[in-house]
Chains A and B, each alone.
Chain A
C-alpha cells in the first residue's frame, strides 16, 4: 500500500505531445479512475506508471521511492491488460504463479497465494485449464488473479471490462468494487465509460487532450464539473448547452436570457463570469423538467421511455435541441407543444474558455 505521486509528467512521441505536465497525488487505498475519450492519453499515463512507457519529463513516486527510471518489475505494481495478455500456453495456475517463480518465491508460498487468490475470485475449478478453454469473464478473473498473487502496492487496470458483454460487464464491475473493498489496495482503472467511472471510483481523473481537466469524487465531477468538456463528457444523456446572456436581478443573482426567455438562477453575480458575452448555460436533463409553468417552450421531437423516467427531446423555437425529463408514466408524444422548467439552483455557466461557474 502506497501513495502514488506524479510530478509534471510529460510524454511525447517525436513531435507529437501525448501528455503535458500531469500532476496528481493518489492516496493509498484509493480507487482512481482515469476517464476520457480515446486518444486523451489516459492509457499512456497508466503505462508510464507501470513502466511500460518511458517518461520524457517529470517524476513518478510510488510510496517513498522515485520509480520513473526503474524497470516495470521493480515498481511494485501489477497490471490487468485490456485483452488480459494471459500466457496462452500456460494453465491458469502457471499463469498466476509465473511472476512469483521468477522472483524465486518458494513453492509452498506460491501455491498458497495462488490457492488464496483463486478462492477470492472463485476460480479454483479452473486452475488446470488453459486460457483458450475459458470464457471472457473467466479470463478476466484469471488476469486479476495473476495481479493479486503478486501482492502489489497498486493495481493498474487498462479498460479491463471493455471486452465483456453488457451483462457480464455490470456484474464484474460490482465484483471489482467488492474486491477493492476487501483488499483495500490502491487501484488505478482506465476507462472511457463514464458509468464505470461513476460507479467504481473514489476519485475520477477526467482527461482530455493531453491534460487533466478535473480530479474529484464522482459527485463532484457530476454536479460541479470544472469545465465545459467535463460537463459534456460525464452524465448520460449529456448536459444541454444553450448560448445565453447573464443579467443581474435585484437580489444580486444572475438571470440568464436566451431567445427572449429569462431564467432566474441562484448563482451570485459576484461569482459569475466577468464578461457577459459568449456565455453558455449548461443544464442537465433532470434539471429541465416538463412543467406547466415552465420558462422554456418548444415542441416535442422524440420521447424516450426508460420506465422510471421519460426523456423528452424538445426543439426550441430557434431550432436548438434540448433534452428534458418527465415522469415515468408521461403521456407526452412527439409533435406536442411542451414547456420545461429550469431548476435554477442546478445550472452551470461556462465562459468562452469553457471554465465553469456553478449555481450550487
Chain B
C-alpha cells in the first residue's frame, strides 16, 4: 500500500512527540544540568562559581569515594552473577513442573519482588535480629554458641544485604528465564535424547547456548540495578556506622543532601553515570559477541 509520506511522518511525530517531550524534560535536561553543576562549587540549592575539574579531582582523592566505589563493586560481584545463576536454576526447575503447580511455584518465587523495599527490610531485620531472629539458629553454632548481628558485623554486612537482595529480586529474573526456556522447542530436546546427550550435556550444549540471550539481558539489567544500589544498604545500616559500608549512591546522597555540596555531589553522580553506561554497554557487547560465537 502506498501512503502519503508527509502524513506518515506527521502520525509518527504525534505518536512519538509526547515521549520525546517528557524524556527531554525529565531526563535529558536534568542530566545536562547535573553535568553543568558538577563543574561549579554550588551548594544544594542556589548557583555557584565555575571551578573546572576541581570537584572531580577532590572526589577522586576522597578516601570515602574509593570506599564507596569498592563497596559498590563488591556488592555487584556478590549479587549479579549469583542472582543470575540461581534464577536460571530455579527457572529450569519450575519449567519442569506442569499446569497449576508451575503457576503456584512461579507465583511463590515472584511474590517477594512485588514487596516494597521497606517491607523487605522489616521482614529480614526481624529474621536476622540478634535476640529473637530465626537466622540465629544457623548463626549460633558457627559463632561459638553466641548470637551475632549480621548487619552490625562489618564483614557480614555486604553478603547479608546481597543475599536479601537476591531473595527479593530473583522472581523477575526467574520469569525472564522461564520465557526464554519456553522458547526452546521440546522437539530439540527429543532430538538430543536420540542423539545420546545426557542431562548435563543437554544443559551445556543446548539449554545454556539457547538461553544465552536472556542470560545476557538478565546480567545487564542486574549490573545496572546493582551499581545503583542504595535502599537496602541504607536501611540496614541505619543506627550503625555507615561509612564502612557506604555505596556510590549513598555517597552522592551524603555529599549533596547531608553536607550541602551540590557541585561535588553532581560530580560523583556524573562519574557513576559514566561508569554505568560504559560498563553496561561493554558487558552487553561482550555477552552478545559471545552469543554469536
Contacts and interface: CB of A to CB of B under 8 A. Distances in A.
A103 B194 contact: no
Interface residues of B, number: 17
A89 B210 CA distance: 7
B102 interface: no
B143 interface: no
A87 interface: yes
A59 B200 CA distance: 30
Given A79-B194, A87-B191, A98-B192, 4 more contacts: A52-B193, A79-B190, A86-B191, A98-B197
Interface string A208-229: 0000000000000000000000
Interface of B: 185, 187-188, 190-198, 201, 205-206, 209-210
Interface in A74-99: 77-79, 81, 83, 85-89, 98-99
Contact of B185 (A51, A52, A85, A102): A85
Contact of A81 (B190, B196, B201): B190
B293 to A, nearest CB: 10
A98 B195 contact: yes
Interface string A286-305: 00000000000000000000
Interface residues of A, number: 22
Given A85-B185, A87-B206, A88-B210, A73 B191 contact: no
Nearest to A82: B187
A277 interface: no
11 contacts: A51-B194, A52-B193, A73-B196, A77-B194, A87-B188, A88-B188, A102-B195, A102-B198, A103-B196, A146-B195, A150-B195
Contacts of B210: 88-89
Contact of A99 (B188, B190, B194): B194
A25 B7 CA distance: 70
Nearest to B206: A87
A71 interface: yes
B193 A81 contact: no
Most buried by A among B194, B196, B198, B205: B194
